[in-house]
C-alpha cells in the first residue's frame, strides 16, 4: 500500500475506535447527541472505506475488477445511505420524545467526548495534509468530511457541558445538529452513487469525483453559512416535543408555568432557554424499595425490615416543580414512618398478625409526609417485603417460632378433644337421665299395681279367709320351691308314723 492507502486505513481504524467509544459513552450517560455522533462517525467510516477501495483499484489497475466492484460499491452505498436516513429519523424521534433527559456521569462522558473531538481534529488534519502532499483530491475531501464529524462532536460536547449547568435541552439540540449532518452525509452518498450508477460511461477510475464538492464547499464562506443554517434550523426544531398518550406536559417560560396540562400529541414551544417542557407519566404506578434496615421494637428487640412503596402522580404541577429528588424523600419518609410504628409494637406482634396493620399505618403516615411537602404524589400502597430478626439471633427466633407452633398444635388438639368429649358426655348424660326416668316410671307403675293387687287380695281375704290363705300359701310354695319334688299329705297324717315310698 502507498502513503494514501495507509493514511485512509489508519483513519478507518481510528474511526471504528471512535464509534465504539461514542456508543459506549451514549449508553452510559443516556445522551442522544452522542448516539447521533456515533452514527455520523459510521458514515465517515463508510466514506473512508469507499475512498480506500477506490485507491486500491486505481493503484493495481484491474479494469474488469474495477467495473464489477464499482457497480457493487454504488449499490451498497445507496443501501447504506437509506440506512443512514433511517437512523437519522430514529435519532430525531428519540430527541423529540426525550425532552430534558437528565444525563448521568457527565464529567467522565464529557472527557471522552473531548478525546473524540481531538481524534477527529488530528484525523482531518492528517488526511488533508497527506492529500495535499500526494495530490489526492479524494483524500482531501475525506479530510473535510472528518472536519464535519469534528464539528458534530463539538456540538455534542457543548450539549454535555450544558447539562452540568441545568441546560439538559442542549443535548437534544446537539442530537438534532448531528442528525442534520448525518442526513447531509447520507444525501451526498446517495446522490453521488446514483449519478455514478446511472452514468457508468463517466470516468470513475479516479475517486476524486466522489467528493469533489467537499473541497469546493469547505474553506469558503459557504461553509460558515451552511453550518450556521444547520445550527439555526436545529435550534428552531429543538422546540418540537411529543406528549405521549400516557403523559401530561408542563410548559414553562423563564420558569413560570404557562401550560400545566399539555395534551397528548405533537406540540411546539420556544427553544431553550426561553421555554422548557417537562413530561410526566401521570397514571404510571411507581415503586421504591427502602432497603433493609435494622429497627428497634417496642420491647427492645432488633428487627430487620425492608419495605416497598407504590405511588402515582396525583398533581402533575406539584410533582414536576416542587421536589428535586422525590425518590429520596419517599425513602426517608417511609423509613421514618416504619421506625415510629415498629418502635411502639412488640416483636411478637410484628412477626405474626400485625403485618397488615403496620402496612396501613405506614401508608397513612407517609401520605401525610407527601402532603406536607406538596409533592403531588398519592401513596397507593406500602408492602412489608421483609420482617425478620437479624441473622445473629435468627436461630433463637426459629426455636421460639417452633415452640409457638407446638403450643398452637397442643391448643388445637385440646380444643378438638374438648369439642369431641363434651358432646359425647352430654349424650351419655342424656341416656342415663332417660334410663333413670324410665326406671322411675316403672317403679311407680309397679308399686301402684302392687297396691291395687294387695287391695284386691285383702278384699278377697275378707270374704273367704280359708280359701284365700290356702291359695296364697300354695302360690308362695310354688315360688319358693319351683323345681323341688313335693309330696302332699293330709292334715290327719302323722309324719312320724308314715312310711313314704318314693320311686323314681
Cell of 88: 437519522
Cell of 439: 326406671
Q: 32, 36, 170, 24: which is closest to 111 by C-alpha?
A: 24
Cell of 119: 481524534
Contact 252, 183 (CB under 8 A): no
Taking only Cα atoms into account, the Rg of the chain, rounded to an integer number of angstroms, comes to 53
Write the CA distances from 137 to 126, 203, 438, integer angstroms. Answer: 14, 15, 132
Predicted pLDDT at 75: 64
Cell of 293: 434496615
User: Please, which residues have CB within 8 angstroms of residue 354's CB and are 6 or more apart in sequence?
Assistant: 345
Predicted pLDDT at 212: 43
Q: Per residue of the chain (504 residues), what is the pLDDT tens digit?
A: 677 778 778 888 888 888 888 888 888 887 777 777 787 777 777 767 766 776 666 666 555 555 555 565 566 556 656 666 665 666 666 565 555 556 778 888 888 888 888 888 888 888 778 877 876 666 666 676 677 777 777 877 877 787 777 666 666 676 677 677 666 766 776 777 677 777 665 544 444 444 444 444 444 455 556 556 766 776 787 788 888 888 888 888 887 888 888 888 888 888 877 888 888 888 888 898 888 888 888 888 888 889 999 999 888 888 888 877 888 899 999 999 999 998 888 887 888 788 889 889 999 999 999 999 888 899 999 988 888 887 777 677 777 778 878 888 999 999 999 999 999 999 999 999 999 999 999 999 999 998 998 888 788 778 877 777 787 788 787 777 777 776 766 667 666 666 666 655
Predicted pLDDT at 392: 73
Predicted pLDDT at 415: 92
Cell of 354: 400485625
User: Please, which residues have CB within 8 angstroms of residue 226's CB and are 6 or more apart in sequence?
Assistant: 217
The owner of cell 462522558 is 109
Predicted pLDDT at 368: 92
Beta strands in 139-247 (DSSP E): 240-243
Write the CA distances from 242 to 53, 92, 118, 189, 471, integer angstroms. Answer: 43, 11, 35, 31, 129
> Cα 42 vs. chain centroid, distance in angstroms?
35
d(CA 488, CA 274) in angstroms, rounded, equals 149
Contact 240, 96 (CB under 8 A): yes
Contact 153, 120 (CB under 8 A): yes
Contact 249, 241 (CB under 8 A): yes
Cell of 415: 380444643
Residue 257 phi/psi, 5-degree rounding, is -75, 125
Walk me through the domains of the chain, giving residue ranges and CATH numbers.
Answer: 3-238 (no CATH), 248-280 (no CATH), 286-389 (3.30.479.30)
d(CA 128, CA 139) in angstroms, rounded, equals 7
Question: Which residues pair with residue 251 across a beta bridge?
Answer: 259, 277
Residue 487 phi/psi, 5-degree rounding, is -125, 125
d(CA 486, CA 478) in angstroms, rounded, equals 10
Contact 163, 107 (CB under 8 A): no
Beta strands in 272-316 (DSSP E): 275-280, 286-289, 293-296, 302-313
Q: 195, 241, 226: which is closest to 97 by C-alpha?
A: 241
d(CA 56, CA 47) in angstroms, rounded, equals 14
Neighbours of 3 (CB within 10 A): 12
Predicted pLDDT at 201: 55
Amino acid at each position: 500500500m502507498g502513503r494514501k492507502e495507509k493514511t485512509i486505513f489508519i483513519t478507518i481504524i481510528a474511526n471504528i475506535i471512535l464509534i465504539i467509544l461514542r456508543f459506549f459513552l451514549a449508553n452510559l450517560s443516556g445522551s442522544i447527541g452522542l448516539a447521533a455522533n456515533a452514527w455520523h462517525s459510521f458514515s465517515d467510516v463508510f466514506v473512508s472505506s469507499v475512498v480506500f477501495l477506490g485507491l486500491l483499484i486505481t493503484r493495481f489497475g484491474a479494469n474488469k475488477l474495477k467495473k464489477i466492484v464499482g457497480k457493487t460499491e454504488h449499490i451498497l452505498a445507496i443501501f447504506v445511505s437509506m440506512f443512514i436516513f433511517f437512523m437519522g429519523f430514529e435519532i430525531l424521534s428519540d430527541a423529540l420524545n426525550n425532552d430534558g433527559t437528565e444525563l448521568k456521569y457527565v464529567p467522565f462522558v464529557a472527557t471522552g467526548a473531548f478525546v473524540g473531538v481531538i481524534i477527529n481534529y488530528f484525523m482531518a488534519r492528517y488526511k488533508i495534509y497527506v492529500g495535499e502532499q500526494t495530490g489526492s483530491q479524494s483524500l482531501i475531501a475525506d479530510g473535510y468530511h472528518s472536519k464535519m464529524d469534528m464539528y458534530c462532536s463539538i456540538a455534542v460536547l457543548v450539549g454535555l457541558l450544558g447539562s452540568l449547568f441545568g441546560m439538559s435541552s442542549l443535548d437534544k439540540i446537539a442530537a438534532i445538529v448531528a442528525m442534520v449532518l448525518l442526513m447531509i452525509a447520507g444525501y451526498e452518498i446517495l446522490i453521488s452513487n446514483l449519478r455514478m450508477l446511472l452514468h457508468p460511461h463517466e470516468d470513475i477510475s479516479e475517486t476524486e469525483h466522489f467528493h469533489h464538492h467537499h473541497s469546493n464547499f469547505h474553506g469558503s464562506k459557504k461553509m460558515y453559512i451552511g453550518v450556521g443554517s444547520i445550527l439555526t434550523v436545529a435550534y428552531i426544531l429543538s422546540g418540537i416535543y411529543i406528549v405521549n398518550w400516557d403523559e401530561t406536559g408542563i410548559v414553562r417560560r423563564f420558569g413560570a408555568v404557562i401550560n400545566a396540562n399539555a395534551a397528548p400529541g405533537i406540540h411546539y414551544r420556544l427553544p431553550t432557554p426561553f421555554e422548557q417542557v417537562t413530561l410526566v407519566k401521570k397514571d404510571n404506578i411507581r415503586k421504591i424499595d427502602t432497603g433493609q434496615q435494622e429497627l428497634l421494637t417496642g420491647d427492645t428487640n432488633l428487627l430487620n425490615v425492608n419495605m416497598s412503596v407504590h405511588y402515582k402522580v396525583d398533581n402533575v404541577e406539584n410533582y414536576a416543580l416542587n421536589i428535586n429528588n422525590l425518590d429520596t424523600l419517599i425513602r426517608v419518609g417511609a423509613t421514618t414512618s416504619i421506625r415510629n410504628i415498629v418502635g411502639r409494637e412488640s416483636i411478637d406482634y410484628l412477626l405474626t398478625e400485625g403485618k397488615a396493620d403496620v402496612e396501613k399505618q405506614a401508608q397513612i403516615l407517609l401520605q401525610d409526609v407527601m402532603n406536607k411537602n406538596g409533592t403531588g404524589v398519592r401513596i397507593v400502597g406500602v408492602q412489608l417485603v421483609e420482617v425478620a430478626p437479624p441473622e445473629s439471633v435468627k436461630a433463637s427466633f426459629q426455636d421460639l417460632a417452633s415452640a409457638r407452633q407446638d403450643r398452637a398444635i397442643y391448643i388445637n388438639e385440646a380444643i378438638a378433644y374438648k369439642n369431641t368429649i363434651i358432646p359425647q358426655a352430654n349424650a351419655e348424660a342424656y341416656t342415663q337421665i332417660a334410663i333413670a326416668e324410665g326406671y322411675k316410671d316403672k317403679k311407680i307403675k309397679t308399686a301402684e299395681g302392687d297396691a291395687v293387687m294387695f287391695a284386691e287380695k285383702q278384699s278377697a281375704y275378707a270374704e273367704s279367709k280359708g280359701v284365700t290363705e290356702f291359695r296364697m300359701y300354695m302360690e308362695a310354695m310354688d315360688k319358693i320351691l319351683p323345681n323341688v319334688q313335693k309330696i302332699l299329705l293330709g292334715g290327719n297324717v302323722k309324719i312320724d308314723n308314715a312310711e313314704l315310698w318314693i320311686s323314681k
